[in-house]
Amino acid sequence: MSERHNTIVCSFDPASPRINAYDIHGWIPENDVQLIQIDGARWQVFIKLTDSEKVHAVLRDTGDKVEYKYPTEEISLASIALAGMGTKRVRVANLPPEVPNEALRVSLAPFVKVLDI
């Protein structure tokens, strides 16, 4: 399984307004950002920076909380952390019930570490 490198995750309060990539680019210096990924369902924004030095500088300078000011002047608190891959749930559709769990585990083993079926 691959891991996220040079990436921070900003977790917003679900009561706050939705955020978009354009707003994030105004928040973090553009020359430091390589990629922005928004996970709307979890109210998270993943920001991939140019190198680990920039990541550690952001984490050091902000602590674990940061104020985000929306273009509407509304302010929201977001927590900032180093992003990891975490555990993912995978659904395999249209698999006959006769297929044993071990066969599925062996088939997925080259791609992921299977924790439970």
As a whole number of angstroms, the distance between CA 85 and CA 45 comes to 14
Domain, as residue range, for 72? 7-82
Instruction: Indicate the number of domains in the chain.
Output: 1
- Could you tell me the two tokens for 3? 């891991």
Of 44, 46, 20, which Cα lies nearest the Cα of 33? 46
Q: Is 22 within a domain? A: yes
The backbone region for 86, taken as left when phi is positive above 0, alpha when psi lies in -120 to 50, beta otherwise, is: left
Q: Is 64 within a domain? A: yes
Q: Is 73 within a domain? A: yes
What CATH number is associated with residue 78?
3.30.70.330
Cα separation values, 22 from 25, 27, 28, 60, 84, Å:
5, 9, 11, 24, 24
Q: Is 102 within a domain? A: no
Task: Render pLDDT for 37-61 as a digit per residue (tens, 0 to 9).
Answer: 888 888 888 888 888 888 888 888 8
Would you state the pLDDT for residue 34?
Answer: 87
As a whole number of angstroms, the distance between CA 44 and CA 37 comes to 8
Q: Is 106 within a domain? A: no
Indicate if the pLDDT at residue 9 is higher than 70. Answer: yes
Would you state the pLDDT for residue 99?
Answer: 92
Q: Is 72 within a domain? A: yes
Q: Is 91 within a domain? A: no
Indicate if the pLDDT at residue 7 is higher than 70. Answer: yes
Indicate if the pLDDT at residue 85 is higher than 70. Answer: no
Q: Is 109 within a domain? A: no
